[in-house]
Amino acid sequence: MFSYKDRVKAVKLLIKYDMSYSDVRRELGYPSKESLRNWYKEYIKNGNLHTEYIRKDMYSEEEKLNAVNYYIEHGKSVSRTVRKLGYPSRPILDKWIDEIASNEKKHCLSGGTVIEYSHDEKEKAVISLCSRTNTALEVAKEHQTSRASLYKWKGQLLKEEDTSTVKDRDKKIKKSNKLETIESESIDLNINKMNLQKQVSELKKEVHRLKIERDIYEKAAEIIKKDQGINIKFLTNREKAIVINALRDNYQLKELLEILNMAKSSYSYQSISIKTDKYANLRVKIKNIFNESSSRYGYRRIHCVLNSLGTIISEKVVRKIMKEENLIVPYIKKKKYNSYKGEISPGVDNIVNRDFHADKINSKWLTDITEFHIPAGKVYLSPIIDCFDGLPVSWTIGTSPNSKLVNTMLDTALATLKENEKPILHSDRGCHYRWPGWIKRMESTGLTRSMSKKGCSPDNSACEGFFGRLKNEMFHGHSWADVTIKSFIEKLDEYIRWYGEKRVKLSLGGMSPLNYRKSLGLIN
């Protein structure tokens, strides 16, 4: 139930400020649109709203009569009656008694017997009170009543509630006017707030529209090679459809069609005729393979991985997609480390003679040392490579190219040999392979030594190729500014293990060296 002021306030917003039903409801939080419509019709018809409402009484006449009768028959106790019947409240029961049986109501003075006063007696007492020369208490004692009863009778007889002074009425009028003024100002503030919110909403819509237009121009320049200064009105329907398809994930189709001034039917027709990218899924696969290899695989190895995954496609297509997606393997050629220190001991013949093919494992090994120069210092790698499949048999990494580096590597490799395996171990003419410790280990285990010619790197090209792939895929093109020696050694060791266990080789049918050996049953 809404008060008269609530109704007037709602209708005033409708008429004075020309607001809609929804705006009034949003502003005030009440009422329903149907109620507001009825109030407005009543105001237009009568010129005002009715101020009094007849509310249905929650108690019937029978219930009222039963309560009053119980009160009379059971000692005229209001509390007992309410407690026994369970209804109504004490003030309401007092009201019913006044209406139905006012003569049965108790009139008590504290500490005395019940005394009833006639209207004439009350009138005489009030006249004495108004014309008294002594105190009101003395007048009360004279008429055998209380001072409070005197003033109560005076109020009843003189109707004090209707005899307020002009000054009091003025105060009430001023207070009412002030409340109306505050209410009017509050309405004005709310309306201003709504206007500001409406302006903010319109600005947000405009900014959103401008953002869409900017993205349309950028996509037109990027996809269909249109100059950003061109007017979008001059784009063909086909070009508009291409731009819309590129922006569908970011904006609603309705917004794009409205800005480009294109009918939905035209867009649907053009979308069917636009040639889709048939290599879209393949592009994703190629990017994933390239990223998983840490940008180390070229188009041939990516093509090999795709074949192993069951995707049959031409190498030319892979190369084209990599070029379009700018997937480039970094390559920087650096000067290699030279370990030649002169003729320390007599050299041996080049038994391998550039024939790096091997029919079985552990029959032909290659070794060399390479250097990595990072801001934190220098790091040296000494591996042994098996010519059968290119597997790194063993390797050592250190900060000094000393005899311990190569001897430890050799001891680790020898531990992997079976009793009847005596491989040829080919190296360059570096000092590490001509020291007594190296020669002694080779002779005691029955391994055959083979050496390249002086300054002839092709004589050990297979090992040099391993170093080149390693540096192109793992070292060059990466920043090592904040990397410590220890961290770099860990990353280098991690790469060599990946090289042997996971990196595919085209010569091995797209398998890694370890997987190739497993496929042949050479290892478990």
Cα(449)–Cα(11) distance, rounded to whole angstroms? 108
Question: What pLDDT shows up at residue 109?
Answer: 39
- Residue 381, pLDDT > 70, answer yes
Cα-based distances in Å from 483 to 99, 381, 488? 99, 17, 6
- Compute and round to an integer the Cα radius of gyration of the chain: 53
Query: How does residue 113 score in pLDDT terms, banded at 50, 70 and 90?
Result: very low
Q: Which of 97-106, 206-215, 394-403 has the lowest mean pLDDT?
A: 97-106
Structure tokens belonging to residue 417: 């040999």
Question: What pLDDT shows up at residue 110?
Answer: 39
Percent share of the chain, pLDDT over 70:
84
Q: Which of 109-118, 159-168, 192-201 has the highest mean pLDDT?
A: 192-201
> How many residues comprise the chain?
524
- Residue 523, pLDDT > 70, answer yes
> What's the CA dihedral at 348, 352, 354, 356 to 10 degrees?
-140
β-bridge partners, 402: none
Indicate the CATH number for domain 364-520: 3.30.420.10
Structure tokens belonging to residue 394: 């063993």
- What ranges do the domains of the chain cover? 4-46, 280-324, 364-520
Query: How does residue 334 score in pLDDT terms, banded at 50, 70 and 90?
Result: low
Closest CA to 67 of 103, 96, 107: 96
Tell me: the pLDDT tens digits for 349-377?
889 888 999 989 999 999 999 999 999 99
Question: What pLDDT shows up at residue 364?
Answer: 92
Cα(311)–Cα(285) distance, rounded to whole angstroms? 10
Per-chain mean pLDDT for the chain: 81
Structure tokens belonging to residue 11: 């209708």
Cα(37)–Cα(20) distance, rounded to whole angstroms? 10
Q: Report the SS3 class of residue 392.
A: strand
Tell me: the pLDDT tens digits for 23-75?
777 777 777 878 878 877 777 777 666 554 445 567 888 888 888 888 888 77
Q: Is the peptide bond before 31 cis (omega within 30 degrees of 0)?
A: yes
Range 84-101 average pLDDT? 83
The DSSP line for 15-73 is: HHS---HHHHHHHH----HHHHHHHHHHHHHHSS------PPPSS-HHHHHHHHHHHHH
Structure tokens belonging to residue 237: 């329907």
Query: How does residue 398 score in pLDDT terms, banded at 50, 70 and 90?
Result: very high
Cα(127)–Cα(116) distance, rounded to whole angstroms? 19
Query: DSSP secondary-structure letter at 478?
Result: S
Q: Report the SS3 class of residue 390.
A: coil
Residue with tokens 């790091």: 379
Tell me: the pLDDT tens digits for 232-275?
777 888 888 888 888 888 888 888 888 888 898 888 888 776 66
- Residue 397, pLDDT > 90, answer yes
Burial grade of 503 (CB within 10 A; 0-12, 13-18, 19 or more): buried
Cα(114)–Cα(1) distance, rounded to whole angstroms? 44
Question: What pLDDT shows up at residue 37?
Answer: 80
Cα(175)–Cα(172) distance, rounded to whole angstroms? 5
Bridge-based pairing of strands 424-427 and 392-398 is: unpaired
- Residue 127, pLDDT > 80, answer yes
Cα(86)–Cα(261) distance, rounded to whole angstroms? 74
Residue with tokens 């100059």: 227
